[in-house]
Amino acid sequence: MDFSEQLHQAEIRDSLEKILSEHCSQENLKEYDSKFKHDKNLLSLLSRNGYLGLGLNEKYGGSGEDLYDLGILFEQLGYHAAPLSLSGCLVDVAQTMQKFSNERSCKEILSSIIAGEIYTSAILEPSNQDPENPMTTATIKNDQLIISGTKYLSEISSIAKSILISVNSSEGVLLVLVESDKVKLTELTSTANSPLFKVELDSVRISKESIIHEQGRGLEALRYLIQINMVMRSYIALGITEKMTSLVAGYTSEREQFGRVIGTFQAVSHRAADCFIELECLRLVNQQASINLNANLDCENNALVSKIWAGNACHKISYSAQHLHGGMGVDKDYVLWRYCLLAKECELINGSASQNIDRLGVNLTTNQ
Amino acid sequence: MLIQLNQKQIKLQTELQEYFENLITPALKSELNQPEYFEGGGPEFKKAMRTMGSDGWIGLSWKKEFGGKELSSIEQYIFVETVMRTGFPFPFLTTESVGPMIAEHGSEWAKEEIATKILKGELIFGIGYSEPNSGTDLASLQTKAIKQADGYLINGQKMWTSLANFSDYIWLATRTDFEAKNHKGISMFIVPTNDPGFSMSAINTLGDVRTNATFYDNIHVPETHLVGDLNQGWSLITSQLNLERLALVNHGPVEELYKDVLKTAQSTKINNDQCLSDLSWVKHNFAKVHSGIEALKLICWKQTWIMESGQLNMAEASVAKVYGSEFFIEAYRLLMEIMGELSILKNDSDLTILNARLERMYRTASILTFGGGTNEVQRDIIAMAGLLMPRTR
């Protein structure tokens, strides 16, 4: 048993903290409130410093396959509300390919991701409750796939070279990389102004070579993608809720009413303490899930537990933080509001807490 | 970072499970089913404690000089977890919180006579902190110990002295300096319950757990019974409480109950084709309890690991206490909902489920949100030590 971070992990955290706090100043973030939320300069800075290779094998130019390292990156991106949406690229594409693609494709694509090239994924479908069973279909004709369907909440798709798409076919579930210019993209406007897209495929023809995994392993690969995405996004949630909690502690330690600092009222400090407890739980379940994923254990339940805690923490801490800040919490000149909106996206993407409680309940009562 | 038990520790778990299967004989079981022995104290209980002691289990992580095996705190946690899963009323406050304090801060006599015997399973302690007018504000306590030529003279009254009815000693907090500020004038003593000046009256609780009011009438103890330095007792109390808080919220019993209710629900037919566990709201309750247990387990493991490095953090001990105690209440409620009306039946009919363990555990859970330091104070500590907020008033 060892809950301590390794030296290199503490270093990753410290230097990311430095880069991001410099780069994600209130002024810089403001600039992205009304435009396409993708900070190219920050991305190339991260790339130059090797942070896009976290969690990837050294042979592709990465810094080693530890998913906890990658978790630190997402936690920090969340903590600083960085204008970068990278889970499609660094998690869905890079991690799934590392596990399921041949070395040649990995060498090509993973090293270009590390160098700052954008890829993304399109997995979720409107009103499909079960992402493991895509409604998007591929018809197999000789060595070609003909794909039709609609995906959404695909990140930064307009600047992605290719999009990893999940489909159902006569050979079962497949994960395929489709060039972005073959699909129809519509930008969606979401609550936190995240760069999300609807992706429509209307009889898109691509080569069978675009399938990223060996024959027969599509479902396994998709399940892995979903699990790891849940866990890494829960690290974003961790960063967001950590920041909100520290804003609460700071604000209520300075704001005075009735001649005293409001943090000295138990009603206030106890609500803050509850945020701290929630946060500690989320941190621990995330750590467990990422470490078990490292060890190749079947982590579906671990991932669901992470997502359930993330969904609840995002909701509870966001509203506690807004409440304890009073009017400041909604004032767009202060920092909190962005985190609250991001928290709502984090809470709902990959399924709400209630939906995942349902999934977990099914697993617990039938798999044993 | 490594968040799982290693092979040796998993083996230890299995070994302990087998060990307890043999240790908990039908005679012991039937003794523990008698209300007067719910918390232990009967002859079979005492026998089992001594067996555990002589087999070397009680002091897994203790130093060899006391008869321990010097394994890590994790092994010690596994031992307590496994024994608590069996339902045996293991006196963990003696072994996990008072014992280590005496081993570290006691006089030579206390180390040799008391600490080693705790390890052998021969001694049980009650904890004498609360008084009729000092509960949450513990530092206002009034029980006196007056210095005399050959020791101290103790007078006062304590409340909620659980296990006093079969304890050998009380771990007693007293006031020794009446001029100093509240928490600066407190000293800790080991007080024998066989002293003629010691008496008690029973307090029966909703959980059918007996506790006691205890009275100390001109009890004389020698100097060797003072633990730690004179007037320095407050830090012993807070250190003891940190250890107590972790022991109180051990994840073993609730996980055991979760597993048993799950098994029961999976085998309870509600019609020709369905079991209780097929209902979606039942699945949801199980999922909520499971995700709560996962967090509790990790909190406890982390605390235990921190203990190993000797820096028990105040905020984290309080997180464990608040989260664990409030989760127990929620978990028992969710599990009782699953079994519905069956879960209110006591242990005397063929309809009773799980030997009425669910019924008893929910009734004993409510004390944990205020016992061991009320959760309001724990939240004050979290805000102060964890979030660096100003002290509440």
So what's the pLDDT on residue B307?
86
So what's the pLDDT on residue A296?
80
* Residues in chain B, total: 393
The answer to whether the beta carbons of residues B327 and A317 sit under 8 Å apart is: no
So what's the pLDDT on residue A367?
55
> Is A220 in the B-facing interface, judged by CB distances under 8 Å?
no
So what's the pLDDT on residue B372?
87
Identity of residue B185: G
CA B305 to centroid of chain Cα atoms: 19
Q: Rounded mean pLDDT of chain B?
A: 94
CB contact under 8 A, A1 and B305: yes
Which residues of B are identified as catalytic?
A: 244
* Orientation angle between helical segments A336-348 and A300-325, nearest 10 degrees: 150
pLDDT digits over B231-278, tens only? Answer: 999 999 998 888 888 888 999 999 999 999 999 999 999 999 999 999
> Strand pairing partners for B216?
B156, B198
Alpha-carbon distance of A297 to B10, in angstroms, equals 17
- The DSSP code sequence of B29-69 is HHHHTSGGGTTS-SHHHHHHHHHHHHTT-TTTTS-GGGT--
> Is B305 in the A-facing interface, judged by CB distances under 8 Å?
yes
Q: Is the ipTM of this complex over 0.90?
A: yes
Alpha-carbon distance of A113 to A111, in angstroms, equals 5
Place of tokens 């085998």: B267
Alpha-carbon distance of A155 to A81, in angstroms, equals 16
Q: Which residues of chain A have pLDDT under 50?
A: 368
pLDDT digits over B178-196, tens only? Answer: 999 989 999 999 999 999 9
- The DSSP code sequence of B274-308 is -BGGGSHHHHHHHHHHHHHHHHHHHHHHHHHHHHH
> Strand pairing partners for B320?
none
Beta-sheet strands, E only, within chain B: 125-128, 144-148, 151-158, 169-175, 186-192, 198-204, 210-221, 226-227
User: Which token pair is B20?
Assistant: 């307890």
B390 closest CB neighbour out of A261, A273, A309: A261
Greater confidence, A62 or B308?
A62
The answer, yes or no, to whether residue B314 has pLDDT greater than 90, is: no
> Strand pairing partners for A165?
A122, A176
pLDDT digits over B22-55, tens only? Answer: 999 999 999 998 889 999 999 999 999 999 999 9
B284 closest CB neighbour out of A263, A287, A361: A361
Place of tokens 């005075």: A256
DSSP letter (8 states) at residue A2? B
Residue in B closest to A354 by C-alpha: B284
Number of alpha carbons in the 13 Å side-chain half-sphere of residue B270: 13
Identity of residue A159: I
Contact partners, residue B349, CB within 8 Å, separation at least 6: none
Interface of A with B in 225-284 (CB under 8 A): 245-246, 248-249, 252-253, 260-261, 263-266, 269-270, 272-274, 276-277, 280-281, 284
The answer, yes or no, to whether residue B108 has pLDDT greater than 70, is: yes
pLDDT digits over A129-179, tens only? Answer: 999 999 999 999 999 999 999 999 999 999 999 999 999 999 999 999 999
Percent of chain B beyond pLDDT 90?
85
> Is B2 in the A-facing interface, judged by CB distances under 8 Å?
yes
What is the C-alpha radius of gyration for chain A, rounded to an integer number of angstroms? 21
The answer, yes or no, to whether residue B229 has pLDDT greater than 60, is: yes
In this structure, the strands spanning B210-221 and B198-204 are: antiparallel
In this structure, the strands spanning A256-257 and B144-148 are: unpaired
Q: Longest Cα pair distance anywhere in chain B, in angstroms? A: 80
